[in-house]
Structures are given as structure tokens and as C-alpha cells.
Structure 1
Amino acid sequence: MGVKLIKISVVYLVIGVLLGYYMSIAHDYQLTGVHVHINLVGWTALTLIGILYHLFPALVSNGLAKTHFWLHNIGLPIMMIALYLLLAFGESTVLTASVATGATLTVLAIITFAVNVFKNLKA
């Protein structure tokens, strides 16, 4: 699972860098929030979590790791796509609710990861 998360994080890195590149060329920084979240919660967080899962197999051998994996990888794309659409095309009730839904799933993923670390990471 650690390797899968690292590979997924590289996809987020490419998306984040391409979005940043586009914003620089266009001199349009309206999507900065999407760029930052993709790089931080996608690339950086998933890389570090993937490394921890790889180094400490006890973190992977339980349901918390699988729950974290799926919540993170469902929630973050929902949040990022909805935030992109909201920033690019304007607010709507559906987009606002979608951002909130994706964000809630992602927060639950991070909390699940934290519980896993405190419960299963041993010296």
C-alpha cells in the first residue's frame, strides 16, 4: 500500500506542477487554492504517508489503513474537481456541497491515518 500511495502522490505532483505552470504562463492565479491543496494534501501528504506505510508494515496490516486509503483517494479528487469548477465558473450550491463532501472525506481520512499511527505504530 505504501508504494501505491507514493505512485498516486506522483500523479498529484504532476497535476499540481502542470496547474502551477499554466497559472504562471497565463498570469492567472485564480486556481491557487486548487494548486496548493493538490501539492500539499496530494503530493506531500500521500508521499509521507506512503513512506510511513512502507517503513512500518504494522500500519498497513489493519482495516484503518484501507479505510484511510479509500477515503483519501475518493475525497481529495472530489474536493479538487469541485473546487476547480467553483473557482473557474462561479459558486453554486452543488459545487459548494461537493467541495464540503470531498473535504469531509479527506479530513476523515487524515483522522483515520492519525488513529492508525497512534494505535499501531510501535517502537
Structure 2
Amino acid sequence: MSIKLIKISAVYFGLGVLIGMYISMEHAFSLTPVHAHINLLGWTALTLAGIIYHLFPKAAETRLAKIHFWGHNIGLPVMMAGLTLFVYGHEQFEPVIGVGATITVISILLFVINILKNVNAEG
């Protein structure tokens, strides 16, 4: 699980950097929230989750870890696609943001529960 998270976080990092470059080249500053969320929830959060799971393999082996991984990596792209369309004036995609955000938040809360239950001094 730790390797999967670190690898997918690198994909989000590359995507976030490309979005940032596009924003600066095209002055498409309305995409700033997409850039920020991809970098924070994709790159940073998932890298840290991967490191935590590497350090505490008991937590990485749980069903909660698998649900977190898949939920986070389904919810975040859905939320970002909806947000991208929304900031470009397609207001009908606002519910898509909510669906993706809800999946992402639930996944992150499951990660928190997993950490509280399975991370301890014994590993």
C-alpha cells in the first residue's frame, strides 16, 4: 500500500505542476483551486499516507487502507473534474464537486480512523 500511494502521489505531483505551468502561461487563474487541491490532497496527503503506511505496515494491511486508497483516488479526480468544469462556467457540474468531495472526505476520515486504531509504538 505504501508504494502504491507514493507512486500515485507522484502522478498527482506531475499533474499539479503541469496545471500550475498552464495557469501561469495562459493566465488561467480560475484554475488555482484545482492546482492547489491536486497538490495538497494528491501529492502531499498521499505521499504522507504512503510514508506512514511504510513506517506502520500493520495499518497498511487493513481493509480501511484499501478503502482509503480507492476512495481518495476516485473522489479527488471526480471533484477536480467537476471543479474545472464549474470554474469555466458550467454550473450544472457543481453537484459533481460535492460527490467527489464527499467520497474524498469519507476516505480521509477512514484513513484517520485507521491511523488511530492501528498506528502504535510496536509498528
Task: Flag whether TM exceeds 0.5 (same fold).
Answer: yes
AA at the equivalent of 2:66:
K
The aligned length equals: 121
Given the alignment, which residue of 104, 109, 112 partners 2:110? 112
1:122 aligns with 2:120: yes
What runs of 5+ residues in structure 1 fail to find an aligned partner?
A: none
1:79-90 pair list within 5 angstroms: 79-90=79-90
1:1-123 pair list within 5 angstroms: 1-92=1-92, 95-123=93-121
After the TM superposition, list the runs of 4 or more consecutive aligned residues in structure 1 that deviate by more than 3 angstroms. Answer: none
Give, in whole Å, the separation in 2 of the partners of 1:88 and 1:14: 22
Give, in whole Å, the separation in 1 of the partners of 2:21 and 2:31: 12
What runs of 5+ residues in structure 2 fail to find an aligned partner?
A: none
Give, in whole Å, the separation in 1 of the partners of 2:27 and 2:81: 21
Give, in whole Å, the separation in 2 of the partners of 1:24 and 1:70: 31
RMSD of aligned C-alpha atoms?
0.8
TM-score by length of 2: 0.95
Give, in whole Å, the separation in 2 of the partners of 1:22 and 1:67: 32
TM-score by length of 1: 0.95
3-state SS in 2 of match to 1:89: coil
Give, in whole Å, the separation in 2 of the partners of 1:50 and 1:78: 21
Alpha-carbon shift at residue 45 of structure 1 (Å)? 0.2
